[in-house]
Amino acid sequence: MITGVHEFHSTPSVSSKKVNLHALIYNLFTIYSIIKEESRTKNLSLNNLVSNDIFINLNSDYITYMVSILIDNAWKYSIENSTLTINIKKINDKNWELKFTNKSKSIPQNINIFEQGTKVDKESKGFGYGLNWIKVLESSYNDRIEKEDSNFEITHNQLTPNSEHSFQEFILKNLRIYYEK
């Protein structure tokens, strides 16, 4: 991760400024695309299906950091010449789902990728903290919002078209979004 976990502090001063989600995704993808390391994916493209009229305005720092981690992971673990697709779906008047899908090596079913220090590929330069940190942020985010209905949640699904490669889906569920018409 470009920004370390120690640079984000879960305090009452966390921002809830209005952030354009489409622009955030595009900017973070562009930033991570300039990092050139042997272990990172080459030629990853972005399919950003989030429209320009969708904003995060509740605990936007939390969501920004989670989006950053997921885009960074796509650059670390996607297969060469593949695509990261990010789309959003309205569930009801208050809740949306933001989905990140990329193609990578298959993850063994017995591995909890959200557990601290988990590395699927022992050769990876990652430390295994990013997805664990997302779960910490998820918990802290839920502590800060009104419990009107469903809690914010991050899930992972693996769709395996063959034994070598899989589509990884990370879904931010029950996300509070501001939609500007």
> Looking at the domain covering 15-179, what would its CATH class be?
alpha beta
Tens-place pLDDT, residues 117-136? 777 777 766 677 889 999 99
Sheet containing strand 178-179, strands side by side: 19-20, 54-56, 178-179
Alpha helix locations (H) across the chain?
Answer: 21-33, 60-77, 130-144
* pTM (two decimals): 0.87
The predicted structure's pLDDT at residue 151: 87
Tens-place pLDDT, residues 71-95? 999 988 899 999 999 999 999 887 8
Closest listed residue to residue 101, CA positions, set 113, 85, 88, 87: 85
